[in-house]
Structure 1
Amino acid sequence: MTAKSREQSKAVVILGEDDNDRKSISILLAALRRDISRADHAPLRKPMALVRNVPPSRLPKHADRVAVLLRAVAVRKPIRCVLMHEDADDVEPAHEKLIAKIEDCYRSLPWPVHAVVPAWEIEAWWFLFPQAVQQTRSTWRSLGQYAGRDVGQIRNAKQELQRALRPSGAKPTFQSYTEADSVLIAEKIVATGALSRPPAAKSRSWQTFVDTVAAL
């Protein structure tokens, strides 16, 4: 086995706020890094690794609890790196401060830790791919009005996305965006080849994610 194949056989552990986020990140990771097998993705439902609201004095114990579970993963399969997702819940450049806090918190772990921090939420990233989003559900309205905008400045991105996709005069049976649709949107972004084209809008937190994945 070559050094490259040994590296590829290691697990990329994905921690996130919920299953939809973890699955979406895994889908995007697989498309951006086709050299990393989906079999090597290891999304974990626990531990909750969120640190944004954790006081500095509690961060070491927080990191210790996460380390225990990661070591259990490493017993089954060597870990290549850990992706830790947490929403910034604020506009850019708030993601930069949270990325630093996450990576500092887990710096003592024996594996590289890379923070995945969308601003405001992962829904802000979907504004970058309006065609893929509209194709996810035929009843959704176009996001074309966001073209060229800095979507990292959208507050309450999830609610904004729900409003933007709802056509005027929508019937009560209209299927609005839900968090579970993130997985479908991520799949559609990949299927339509949107990742190979420049995004329709701007987001520094998205570009940070792309750069992070490229460097794994």
Structure 2
Amino acid sequence: MVGFTACHSKGSTFAAYQTIIYDHIITNIGNAYDVRDGEFNVPYDGLYTFTVTGMAYSNTEMYFTLLKNGVYVQKMYSNLDTSDTSAFTTNLYLQAGDAIWVVNGGHDSGHLHPNNYNCFSVNNSTQHMVAFTACHSKGSTIGVHQTVLYDHVITNIGNAYDVRDGEFNVPYDGLYTFSITGMAYGNTDMYLTLFKNGVYVQKLYSNIGNADSSSLLRIFIFKLVMKFG
């Protein structure tokens, strides 16, 4: 069993491309997270789920960027114009010895909000090996009731996500957790809505007045555990 959750408590300033140190450790099962350098060191091969929350502060902006062995995986944006907490979740199949960490991926220094608003978590799945993470890369216009296609596939273990139609096809009965992040752009707003077999399940809202990725509250709403079969 491996998992950790750590938060940044001090409200420090981080230069461009500097590693964010999450100094307040809530959980560190297996001791795979190193608070000295902010890195999670993978102890064995397997599927790992990472969650990052972020909140910029003091007239700055931050691009929270997840790296695997120094290579870009995923990022989110938080700016000074809103007090929302941004968040994202990603699934990665990793090998023993891989290292994962978070940096300020912007071109300027950014200041983090103190009091543990900024956190970094991981857990390792030992159940059925089915998981995917995919992002929308093109900045497309999506019509009303049109399916959002997440074209940039980061992970697709079990090949249950079909990039051609944007659907996840359940391979077997069980509990599934879904996380969705959303950020509208270009003087528009979006209601990102999750469907199961064409029936409404849950939605989140993103508008032009908030440049952040979806808030922590909305992420928790969308982290649904659903029973299929």
TM-score, with length taken from structure 2:
0.24
More strand by share: 2
TM-score, with length taken from structure 1:
0.25
